Amino acid sequence: MRDFHLPGRSSVLAENGMCATSHPLAAQAALEILKNGGNAMDATIAGAVLLGICEPQMTGIGGDCFVLFSQAGSDEIKSLNGSGTAPSLASADNLRDKGFRSIPLNSPHAVTIPCAIDAFCKLSNDWGKLGLDRILQPAIHYAERGVPIAERVAYDVAALTETLNPSGREFYLPWGRAPKVGELFVHHGQVKVLKEIARHGRDGFYSGEVAEDMVNSLQKLGGFQTMDDFSNMEAFYTNPISRNFAKFELVEHPPNSQGATAILLFNILKHFPISSMDPFGFERTHIETEAAKLAYDARNRLVSDPNVFDATTRMTSEKLAEDLAAKINLKKVINEVSSITEEVHKDTIYITVVDKDRMAVSLIYSIFHGFGSGIASEKFGVLFQNRGAGFNLIPGHVNEYGANKRPLHTIIPAIVREKGTVKMPFGVMGGQYQAAGHARVLSNIYDFEMDIQTALDAPRSFFENGSLRIERGYNESTVQKLSSLGHNIDQKIGPIGGAQAIRINENGVLQGASDPRKDGSAIGY
């Protein structure tokens, strides 16, 4: 039980259904869907699409998603890959000939074909109960009437105003400046798009007037996207990957997601007596940091479109984890590991819903960097992701930019099973931090027996771009000891990630938690 003398909040408890996500209006909309006959899949899609209005810098219909879910009455977990490909005319040679050494973040070359909408349509048709017309109504309502700008949204957008192109500024900065907390954000262009999807399903987005607007807007900027690229885009079901650890089984989404990175990281950490350490002391933090460096280095070398190279077997190998664990020195930092190459970003939403029949959904949905590519379509203001920046331009690399390829993705939903039973859908936002975040949150719960809200509240650290970023929740002594080991400390940082979780307790009661680093909440009924 938490210390009621200190700031914090309790986990939320309910019996009939629950949603946990990063904005309370989206959580409330999901719960209303449950109350009105929808199931967890309906509620998750409704909340996710609304989050594109509530947190437009984080996600939107121009992005991608990954999903894990279990049906009511079943502990079998299914997965769906809702990530898009590079255009059919994409060419790494073309970009190298233009002098590029990496994919320009705010260029049409970074725009992969958005796949989330096809994923939502497929999931609604295959597993939902209410149909798209009903579950898109909350997003349509708020896009038309407006969403008050929340504190975290205002904080993020203030640093992103220069990212947007002229159409982006028109649709996403209608005030002509960064928004203030409480100001209403409306998006009439998206109202029209969502109504088209509600009427016509995926065809309302991937063909006709909406697709023409997206393709024409990108081609005017030099993009290679075509109408055929959009009409051919399709999400697909795949097989989740998992590994058993001492107290739980971790189920992750397979590549091109980085879910295998989280499994590798856990496999490395199990070689150390983590549970005997101070949960917020320098030893645990040092070992986690070094393990993450090694696991992410393996990710950067191996994870790509599985049609090019399936990294699952190698990334989940016990031998690889053992070899990497042996490289960790408890007295000093590792300097020889290659740097983490992905650009810093933190812009993603996560939503989880469990319904009265115990269908559980874990969904993550992103446009990659803040406001994605910064490019919005001219007519409807569809904001495009820049997930293509997850490719590289290294000749022959498994993750080299190329036609119809899916890039390495950092976004990962997860579900925990205990003794074969679905126990906890959860996710940790925060760009490439996510795999490390899975390790930190689950270690908090299973090594240190924290309740799930405390596990999400607890301070975090992450090695990125040559520095160990440490939240101010760590005490000064821990920071000094880490510095003495050779870590380059950076505490002039924003919050690291965000997370949500729903635990299904032994008596069937649902326990929800939402990260205070976001504006969100867990609510149930």
As given in the structure block, the two tokens for residue 326 are: 């042996």
Q: What is the pLDDT of residues 487-524, one digit of tens each?
A: 999 999 999 999 999 999 999 999 999 999 999 999 99
Count of other CB atoms within 10 angstroms of residue 44: 35
pLDDT(341) > 60: no
- Which has the closest alpha carbon to 57: 141, 139, 161? 161
Distance, first Cα to last Cα, the chain: 22
Q: What pLDDT is recorded for position 344?
A: 45
Residue 338: per-residue pLDDT: 62
- pLDDT band, very low/low/confident/very high, at 342 (cuts 50, 70, 90): very low
DSSP for residue 276: G
pLDDT of 364 over the 80 cut: yes
Q: How far apart are CA 443 and CA 482, in angstroms?
A: 20
Please give the Cα distance from 363 to 70 (Å, whole number). Answer: 12
Q: Average pLDDT of 352-377? A: 97
Convert the pLDDT of each residue in 173-193 to its tens digit. 999 999 999 999 999 999 999
Query: How many angstroms separate the CA atoms of 235 and 69, rounded?
Result: 15
Omega before 505 within 30 of 0, i.e. cis: no
Q: Report pLDDT for 82.
A: 98
Q: Which residues contact 104 (CB under 8 A, 6 or more apart)?
A: 110, 389
Count other Cβ atoms within 10 Å, centred on residue 318: 10
As a whole number, mean pLDDT of residues 74-86 equals 98
349 forms beta bridges with 365
Is the torsion defined by CA of 133, 134, 138, 142 positive or negative? positive
Domains, in order of start, for the chain: 22-237+356-390 (no CATH), 257-344+425-519 (1.10.246.130)
pLDDT digits (tens, 9 = 90+) for 138-149: 999 999 999 999
pTM: 0.96
Contact (Cβ atoms closer than 8 angstroms) between residue 476 and residue 484: no
Query: Mean pLDDT, the chain, as a whole number?
Result: 95
What is the average pLDDT across 55-63? 97
Number of neighbouring beta carbons within 10 Å of residue 179: 20
